[in-house]
Amino acid sequence: MPAYPHLKIDREQPVNEKRPVGRVITRPPENIPAHARRLHASLERARESATQSLGGFDDRLLFKLQIGSFAPDQLERINGVEVISQEDGGYALAFANIEALETFEARLATLERGRQITRKEIFFALQAFENWTEEDRKGWALQHEGLPARDNFMLDVELWPIRTNTSRREMINHFNFWLGQEGIENLDSINVDSLVLYRVRASQEQALRLLHHRDVRTVDLPPRFQLEIEALQFDIQQVGNIPAPPANAPFIAVLDSGVASGHPMIRMAMADAQGFLPPDRSADDDQGHGTHVAGIALYGDVEECFESRSFEPQLRLLSGRILDAQAEGNPRLIENLVEEAVRYFHEQYRCRIFNLSYGDVNKPYTGGRVKWLAYTLDRLSRELDVLFVIPTGNFNDVPSDWLRSEYPEYLLRDDASLIDPAPALNALTVGSIARWDQTANSSRWPHDPRERPIAQRDQPSPFTRCGASAKGAIKPDLVSYGGNWALHLVTGHRVTQRLGELSTSRAFLTDGRLLSDASGTSYAAPHVAHLAARTLGELPANSSINLVRAVLVANAKIPPASAVLFDKDEERLSRTVGYGMVNPSSLYRSTEEELILIAEEALADKRHHFYELPIPDGFLNGTPRSRRRQLTVALAYCPPVKTTRVDYKAVRMDFRVVKAESLAAVVKMFNRATSRDEYERMSEWGSNKWAYGASIRSKGTVQSATWTLRKRLSGQLFVVVTRNDYGWVGDNSIDERYALAIRMSDRENQEARLYTQINTMLQVRQRERVRVRTRT
């Protein structure tokens, strides 16, 4: 079947006027004097408690202010107040000096007497003055596991990410000095935009003092890496001669436990292997996890390659060892190791696709603030225009009775939530679905019912963790094969043999076996990373990572077996399988039956971009009556992020597909009179779409929806991309870049000439635009 490059679609020129920004109006309390008295009393209590804090680089006091939905930055209109963080639950954390405290007290006293004050909206919004307590400072793992019983142990300590450089330097210098005074060993640290993080070694007593230090935001236990492998070895006597990848093949970097670079199926594609772990910085894989991940990243579907006995690498492999089997022995912060590795491979090889099959079970995402490694990936994604592909993480501690009777519902419990860095919004997070549903014993004795698979083929793996991410964003973004479990119905034991993903094995060094199988979300992620690197190599030069993400998601489909499992419930499907599994049939190139339209643009805040879809008559015609035609639209962008805001991402973009008689009619629909509420209620064309509705998908930074046509279509279809920043922003005068991928499919039409017809329509449009510009 002939294949062609994807087609570029240009936006229409109208960009309509800015819509008005909605304002939050603070209503006065019913009894203002009583409200002021309560506030005054809470201020006195909080002030007394705040003076008991340790350390602090200056003499200001730290307060936890209950403000609800009031914009925290408005608090800084009181002289001497510096807001340092917005926390979940309607709280803001702020430093206040003597001048600010005197202002609070004086104005509250005035309100108590029933008189008017300036900045009254602040005092009406305030509900209480509170403190950032020892319990507030404890991270999830520390809350659940407590401090280690031994004398000395490592802790991760986050400070307040103060905005001003001078104050931040002063805080860091003072904290370093304080650590020295206390005898707390400083092992590693990070100081970037909205993250100041230390790894320290401390005793029980020193840890308690850290939990009472004014400048400490969070104290938590170090990561607990997930590097378990349950592998059944395969013995392959002869692979044959495997060629080297093409000289211009794209790079893919595996950041993991290292790679056995001498493996006969890897060595011809290995471009560089570096170690970033102290003290020896060895690049060797002494654990096996990285080698297994690398095989899938390099070949994609290793099972398919094995069945066809055809191994032909299309990528060049880079390996960065940042993990080992003894995570607790590593004094370096994982955030620093990842950043060092990414910057090295990006600078040396211009590598833009990174697989990081890592999850920290000590940092489950329970809502609210995104944690440190996820933030690091989001920041690097935007700065370097690189793509991280990461797993949701493994939920290994599943009770047998849950496996027996509560699958798949237990996957939606808090116990199975995403773990850091899976909530990262600018990365692609991958969940696992099952490929196999027959164990070694059940294939040998097919009439023996004792070993029952938990998941059927194309259903969520029984160990995959589930979303959503920040503010309800869809996670995982995609799924791929990562393995399955079975349950022995007599013993209650978990069975894994012959249920995992086939890939390259480090065991070739000892017993000559080249392949093994293993189960875990770690092995679902590199399937997608492989597709991402191949896609980047096929797109036009200088394409953004936004476009790679959009094209991948536009080619994804929710597996029917998963849809049936969850009764097509959008909310449950969005948390378990996201946008589904990528179908590579038109991923790299378009065909006459299925093509991709691509666009990259930049959009100002409170504006719209309009795209008229080129739809030929052959696609509009619904004959034969049962013929299905599909339209998928995907949008991706990479916004700036901050850990100090509940609205973690600064920019909000989404899209609508609408039907209208003309471009002018569409522009009128999205005119400047459209309020925010009216816009969010604006319905899309067609009711037969899958999935998801605009209100669900718009929370993420990669979004997709599919429409299936069975009847004749009349009228014109438009894709409208909207930017509407509701939360905090950096500089909203800067246009934000985004990418669109629009997939059109007419696979049931044996005479389809979709690509040729649409290409002709786009050329006619382009000539018309040139004529219009020439006349004007």
Compute the CA torsion angle 645, 647, 648, 650 (nearest 10 deg).
-100
Question: Amino acid letter at 478?
Answer: L
The single residue of 6, 289, 346, 608 carrying the catalytic annotation is 289
With contact defined as beta carbons under 8 Å apart, do 741 and 549 qualify? no
Question: Amino acid letter at 432?
Answer: S
With contact defined as beta carbons under 8 Å apart, do 317 and 270 qualify? yes
Question: Amino acid letter at 508?
Answer: F
Q: How far is 578 from 477, CA to CA, in rounded Å? A: 5
- Contacts made by residues 209-212, CB under 8 angstroms, sequence distance 24+: 209/54, 209/182, 210/137, 210/155, 210/157, 210/184, 211/134, 211/137, 211/138, 212/52, 212/53, 212/54, 212/134
**The tokens of 242 are what?**
């495997």
With contact defined as beta carbons under 8 Å apart, do 606 and 743 qualify? no
Host H or E run for residue 679: helix 676-681
- Residue with token string 């996890």: 289
Q: How far is 342 from 405, CA to CA, in rounded Å? A: 43
The single residue of 156, 188, 215, 256 carrying the catalytic annotation is 256
With contact defined as beta carbons under 8 Å apart, do 424 and 430 qualify? no
Host H or E run for residue 522: none
**The tokens of 21 are what?**
């920004």
Residues 6+ away with beta carbon under 8 Å from 665: none
Question: Amino acid letter at 169?
Answer: R
- Is 58 a residue of the active site? no
- Is 662 a residue of the active site? no
DSSP state string for 605-640 = TTEEEEEE----HHHH---STT--EEEEEEEEE---
**The tokens of 623 are what?**
């004959």
- Is 420 a residue of the active site? no
Q: How far is 675 from 695, CA to CA, in rounded Å? A: 16
- Contacts made by residues 36-41, CB under 8 angstroms, sequence distance 24+: 36/108, 36/109, 36/111, 36/112, 36/123, 37/112, 38/128, 39/108, 39/123, 39/126, 39/127, 39/128, 39/129, 40/105, 40/108, 40/109, 40/112
Nearest to 421 by CA among 180, 274, 206, 641: 641
Residues 6+ away with beta carbon under 8 Å from 503: 291, 292, 293, 294, 295, 296, 302, 515, 516, 517, 518, 523
Give the bridge partners for 94, in sequence order: 63, 83
**The tokens of 208 are what?**
């308690």
**Could you tell me the strand order of the sheet in which 501-504 lies?**
232-234, 515-518, 501-504
Spacing of C-alpha 221 from chain mean position: 23
The single residue of 42, 261, 516, 522 carrying the catalytic annotation is 522
- For 34, 73, 122, 158, the CA distances from 119, given in Å and listed in that order, are 18, 13, 6, 33
**Angle at 770 (CA atoms; ends 767, 771), nearest 5 degrees:** 90
Per-residue b or e along 715-749, where b marks 16 or more CB atoms closer than 10 Å to that residue's CB: ebbbbbbbbbbebbbeeeeeebbbbbbbbbbbbeb
**The tokens of 84 are what?**
């340092």
Give the catalytic positions in this structure.
256, 289, 522
